[in-house]
Every structure is written in structure tokens, then in C-alpha cells.
Amino acid sequence: MSREMLLLAEALASEKNVNTEVVFEALEFALSTAAKKKADREHMDVRVEIDRNTGEYRTFRRWLIVADEDYTYPDVEKTIEEIQEEIPGTTIQIGEYYEEQLENEGFGRQAAQTAKQIILQRIRDAEREQILGEFLVRKDDIIMGTVKRVERHGVILEINRLDALLPRDQMIPRENFRNGDRVRVAFLRVDEIGNSGRKQVVVSRTSNDFLVKLFAMEVPEIEDGLLEIKEVARDPGQRAKIAVKANDQRIDPQGTCIGVRGSRVNAVTNELAGERIDVVLWSPETAQFVINALSPAEVTRILIDEDKHSVDVIVAEDQLALAIGRGGQNVRLAADLTGWQLNIMTVAEAEERHAAEDEAIRNLFIENLNVDTETANILVQEGFATLEEVAYVPAEELLEIDGFDEQVVEMLRNRARDALLTQAIASEEKLEDVADDMRELEGIDQDMLRNLAQAGVTTRDDLAELSVDELIEITGVHEEDAKKVILAAREHWFNEESTEGNA
């Protein structure tokens, strides 16, 4: 049988286009499975070893050596004490295998058929893995697939002998495919299918990566590294914005991506079911990038709040609808593109808001510094907005203000410091009212607790009833942090509901 074994391995490897070693491993597994069936001991651990040069094979039964307290399965385990009694002086250790050679069995027709099925399955699996490996090597390219069948959860595409899934949520809305259609997609991920160990390639037409790759196909300068797409924001099938940057100053990045009479951008739009694409200039400066991202709207001015990571965008009345876009689409895509929260307002709204902020600061100074309206107005006009600025800004800056002498400056600084001290003491007293279960919530620090206590939020239920926007307004934390804190605060509500439902 030895010669036949070698010929079989070579023939299968050649026919299935897989490595000969894969065939030998499949044969060994098949022979060991058949041996267990022959012995009617399915749980017995059998290993078959085929000599790759001669085709001769040997069969071994083996046991895992375990400690006495771990001994559970006699068919496949032996204790260290048992093996030492059977083979005195052995050096085998716990965790190693003890093997006993068995006589090679002659396999009947049924056993041979089982072996054949196992071999073919192993070869199919190896073949699939090989095709998957070849596919993953070129996953950074646009992939062309053929619709094999349309299912409820998505479309199965055949891509170079490999089946890939295009899920419904990765398809452009209102797209319909039929068997045999040719479809361009981009690689998304590889999923495991249940516990089978098989892998499913998942592809996409809605990912930002797909849009970038489509532009790379149409714009050779991207492939050559002369320009690059820095950021992408999409509403698949409707509208997208891309931010482009030239790495060669001789190139106009917008014009290059748009093409003569829009030829290049139109080619991408046609592939994406008419998705309108705005090509904007990327900039390292936040202000300029936000202005570019809101195109085609014209921006009058912007105010950046680094702490809240937000930008107030002021536009003329006739530009408001354009800046916001239909259903808020333009400002939403611009926010996604820049990574900043964008607040659109008209010049009149900005002036009204600015006046309200000035009034609040003016009242703050009047109440805490015990000064008249004229002095408070001077501080506001000079750009002072907090008691901390008055208390700790260098005295020289205050002395530069017309009408402020050393006596006035010293008085203002002392009153500001006294007011801050009073507020700090009051804040610490309020902090004592905060419930222990609120202090222990994940994501809450002392500064947040002080701000919440100042706002009268002292219990876990008080915090749980806040909206994300309210928590941000009170504490100034980022949106993601606010969501986590509120979810943590509400967790006991869900646990109580679950307990009641199980009662």
C-alpha cells in the first residue's frame, strides 16, 4: 500500500492545487478516524504517521499524562502513577503523551469510503484557506465580484472562486442586484462562521474605504502619492465629503480629483448610485478646515471652544439654509469630516448670544467684585470672562487699562481671590451632600462631582435623569464620556426591571 499512498497523495495535491503536506495530514487524520471506527472506540486517541518518502505508515494509540486529581477520561488519559508502574524509571512528565504502537488495520470498503470523505473535506478546507490567503494579499484593491445569489440578509458574490458576503447594511440604499450582475466592492473583514472554524469574507459598498479606493482608480495622482484623501464623511447613496491634500505644490488637489468637466468625480458618483461628492481642501488649521468643510456655504466668522471641542459657525442669513443643508446633512457631514461639533448660527443670533454672554459676565463681576456697571463693562470690553482671570492675570496687564491704577488693580485682584475662596468653600460643603453610590460610579472624578453638586445633582437617580446634553452643559465633558457616565448611573434601573421581570 506504501507506493499507492504516495501516488494518491501526489495525485490529490496536483488535482486540488494544494501542498502535498496538506494531503498527507488529511490522510493521517482519515486513517486515524477509520482506525477508531474499526476498534469501535470513538473516544480513543489515535495518531497515524505516514513516512513522506516511503509511504509506509504506523498507527499509535496515545494517552495524555495527568496528575491523579485531574484524571477524568480513562480512554485518553493516564495518571503519572499509572505510567510509572507500567514503565518503571520512565522520564515522561505530566502534560506529555505516552504512545503505544498498534498493528496497522486493513480497512474495509466502508472505512475506506469514510477516509475518502474526510480527505476530500480536509482538502476542500485547505483549498478554501489557500484561496482566502490569496484574496487577503490583494484586499487593498477594489474587488470585482459576480452575484451568485441574493439572500434575505445580503448578497453572495463569487470572487475568484471565493464566496463573499455583501450584507444589506453594507449596500447602498435602494440598490438591487440580480444573479450574474458584476459588482465592485471593498474588503471589510473576515468573520468566523459559528464553531466550524470556517471563515466568511465580508465586503462593503458603504465604507469610507470603498470611496477612497474608487477615487484612487480614477485619479492616478493618488496612486503616485502626489495627493491624498485625508478625511471622508458619507451618507451612502446620497452625499459625501472628502478632504484632499496635495503633496506636490504644483498640483491643484480639488481640480485634480474633480477632473475635466467633472469627469473623474462623476465616474465615482455613477458607481455609487448618484451619490453627490463635495471635494474640499484639507487644512491643518481647524478654523480654515471647518470653513472649507461647510462648502458651498460661505462662513462669516467662527469661534473655537477647545475645551468643549466645538465651533460656533456664524453665517449670513441667506447662507443659513445652505450651511445646514437638507435635513442637516451638510453640517452633519462637515462635523464628521472635521471631527468637531459645529453650531451654525446667523450674525443676528451670534450677536444676541454674545450680548447675553456679556451680560452674564458683567453681572458676575458686579456681584462678586462689588464694582459698578462701568467698571464691569470695562473688564468685559478688555476680554475678561472669569474671576480667575481677574485674580491671577499679571498685574501689569490690568494696569494697562485706562483708568486702572495700582490701588484699583489690587482691590480687584483681592476681591476676586476672596470670591473664589468663598465659592470653593461652598463647593466643598455641597460636595458633602453627594451620595456615596454616585461617588463610586465609573467615569466620575472630583471635578465632575463638584460641578454636579453645584447644579443640585447629588444622587445617582438625579444623575440618571439627566440627558447627555444637560450633563455636558453642567460639567463640560466630552459626549462619549457623558454617555458612559449616564449609562452607569442608569444601570441599577435596568437591573431592577430585570429582577421584577423574573419574579
Check which CATH number belongs to the domain holding 7 and give it. Answer: 3.30.1480.10
Q: What are phi and psi of 228, to 5 degrees?
A: -140, 155
pLDDT of 414 higher than 80: yes
Query: CA-to-CA distance for 270 and 285, rounded, in angstroms?
Result: 33
Question: Is the domain of 188 the same as that of 105?
Answer: no
Q: Does residue 221 contact residue 200 with C-beta atoms inside 8 Å?
A: no
> At 442, which CATH number?
1.10.150.20
pLDDT in tens, 281-338: 999 999 999 999 999 999 999 999 887 889 999 999 999 999 999 999 999 999 999 9
Q: What pLDDT does 132 receive?
A: 76
> At 332, which CATH number?
3.30.300.20
pLDDT of 497 higher than 60: no
The percent of residues in the chain predicted with pLDDT above 90, rounded, is 35
Question: Is the domain of 439 the same as that of 476?
Answer: yes
State the helix-helix crossing angle for 20-39 and 109-137, rounded to 10 degrees: 150
pLDDT of 113 higher than 70: no
As a whole number, the mean pLDDT across the chain is 86
Which of 233-242, 264-273, 454-463 shows the lowest per-residue confidence on average (mean pLDDT)?
Answer: 454-463
What mean pLDDT do residues 209-218 have? 94
Confidence band of 243 (pLDDT split at 50, 70, 90): very high
Question: Is the domain of 115 the same as that of 152?
Answer: no
Query: CA-to-CA distance for 325 and 86, rounded, in angstroms?
Result: 84
The answer to the question of residue 262 being in a domain is no
> At 173, which CATH number?
2.40.50.140
Question: Is the domain of 43 the same as that of 93?
Answer: yes
Question: Is the domain of 87 the same as that of 165?
Answer: no
Q: Provide the 3-class DSSP secondary structure of residue 121.
A: helix
**How many domains does the structure of the chain reveal?**
4
The answer to the question of residue 377 being in a domain is no
Question: Is the domain of 14 the same as that of 83?
Answer: yes
Q: What pLDDT does 149 receive?
A: 92
The answer to the question of residue 159 being in a domain is yes
Q: What pLDDT does 81 receive?
A: 85
Domain final position from 172, 204, 236: 204
Sort 463 into a burial class: Cβ within 10 Å, 0-12 / 13-18 / 19+.
Answer: buried
Q: What pLDDT does 430 receive?
A: 77
Q: What pLDDT does 472 receive?
A: 87
The answer to the question of residue 268 being in a domain is no
Q: Which domain holds residue 448?
A: 434-497
Q: What pLDDT does 431 receive?
A: 79
Spell out the alpha helix ranges (H) of 235-372. 253-258, 263-271, 286-293, 320-324, 329-338, 347-369
The answer to the question of residue 415 being in a domain is no
Question: Is the domain of 183 the same as that of 68?
Answer: no
Domain final position from 91, 120, 149: 120
Question: Is the domain of 105 the same as that of 187?
Answer: no
Confidence band of 267 (pLDDT split at 50, 70, 90): very high
CA 293, 297, 301, 304 torsion-angle sign: negative
The answer to the question of residue 148 being in a domain is yes
Domain final position from 153, 185, 204: 204
Q: What pLDDT does 148 receive?
A: 93
Q: Which three cell numbers stand for residue 60?
A: 499509535
What mean pLDDT do residues 123-150 have? 79
Q: Does residue 165 contact residue 203 with C-beta atoms inside 8 Å?
A: yes
Query: CA-to-CA distance for 184 and 155, rounded, in angstroms?
Result: 13
AA identity, residue 234: R
pLDDT of 111 higher than 60: no
Q: What pLDDT does 199 receive?
A: 79
**Longest Cα separation, the chain:** 111
Q: What pLDDT does 107 receive?
A: 52
Question: Is the domain of 16 the same as that of 96?
Answer: yes
What mean pLDDT do residues 16-38 have? 77
The answer to the question of residue 210 being in a domain is no
pLDDT of 280 higher than 70: yes
Q: What pLDDT does 87 receive?
A: 82
Question: Is the domain of 112 the same as that of 2?
Answer: yes
Q: What pLDDT does 454 receive?
A: 81
Question: Is the domain of 161 the same as that of 86?
Answer: no
pLDDT of 427 higher than 80: no
Question: Is the domain of 40 the same as that of 79?
Answer: yes
Better-predicted residue by pLDDT, 313 or 39: 313
pLDDT in tens, 53-107: 888 888 898 989 998 888 888 888 888 888 888 888 778 888 889 888 888 766 5
The answer to the question of residue 258 being in a domain is no
Q: Is the pTM of this model over 0.75?
A: no
Question: Is the bond leading into 253 cis (omega within 30 degrees of zero)?
Answer: no
